[in-house]
Amino acid sequence: MDGKPGHESQTLGLVSALERLTTVQVHTISLAPLRIGFWHWLLKRFAPGANLPAPDLIIGAGHRTHWRLLAARRCYGGRAVALMSPSLPTWCFDTVVAPEHDGLSGANVIQTRGVLNAMRPGEKRAGSTLVLVGGEGKHFAWDDAAVFRAVSQLASAHEDLQITDSRRTPPALRQQLAEAFASSYQPWESCPQGWLHGQLASAEMAWVTEDSVSMIYEALSAACRVGLIGLTGGRGRLAQGIARLERDGLVTRWAVGTNQPALNARVAVLAEADRVANILLSPN
């Protein structure tokens, strides 16, 4: 674990899927105090594994885990599984699990729709809507005013509605949301543990700003009908992946400034963590 919530969510999602299929003994190693690189691999040194059982799978997400994965495998055996596109060549690892929009291929690459996550569907509350607001980033042009208008329209159209934001949401927009939707707005930093997963699991519909790619795939994994609050300037592989979701009818995109569309995207649960776990456990 490298301490980054997004990376740890992927790892825990895969581990949880493995636990649903077989008996698993999990040992978590934090990378924070460790400085392990090429020389540790070369000299077959990985002190954190000294008192642990020999591993079957060594799993890590994020660039800082890569040399640790390889050093651990060289010392103790097992298969090294890198989640997301690695900074090292893919052939260094036994398995690389990467979203299809990264464009990786090879016999040891498992392509997924979006990054892995731990979301699963729950009992849906009829008519419930969750609005997920992202923020500024390099892949889309952010517009506070347009996003606020979209959230306002959604709040007017849905009685059972909850709104939350993210670390990237601009402060001015956060203040607007807090003032306008005090009873239904939940700032990200004060969300109780497990709140977001619980909301996604029970929400029938989720509207997500287009920049929040991980949230889009989590909402799909939770079997929500997913609508996208569209942003301008989308480019790169992330935008192409979202475009594929729209073409496949998995999301409905709303160009802000137009009339709000009916949320007619089909419900298709993305159980990518379970699919990857099955592949990893396959004898072939």
Burial class (CB in 10 A: 0-12, 13-18, 19+), 30: exposed
> Could you read off the pLDDT tens digit of each residue along the chain, which spans 284 residues?
988 888 899 999 999 999 999 999 999 998 866 678 888 888 888 888 889 999 999 999 999 999 999 999 999 999 999 999 999 999 999 999 999 888 899 999 999 998 899 999 999 999 999 999 999 888 788 999 999 999 999 999 899 999 999 999 999 999 999 999 988 999 989 888 889 999 999 999 999 999 988 899 999 999 999 999 988 877 778 788 888 898 988 999 888 778 788 776 667 778 999 999 999 999 76
pLDDT at 38: 86
Structure tokens, 34 = 């460790």
For tokens 């040891």, the residue is 108
For tokens 């070369």, the residue is 42
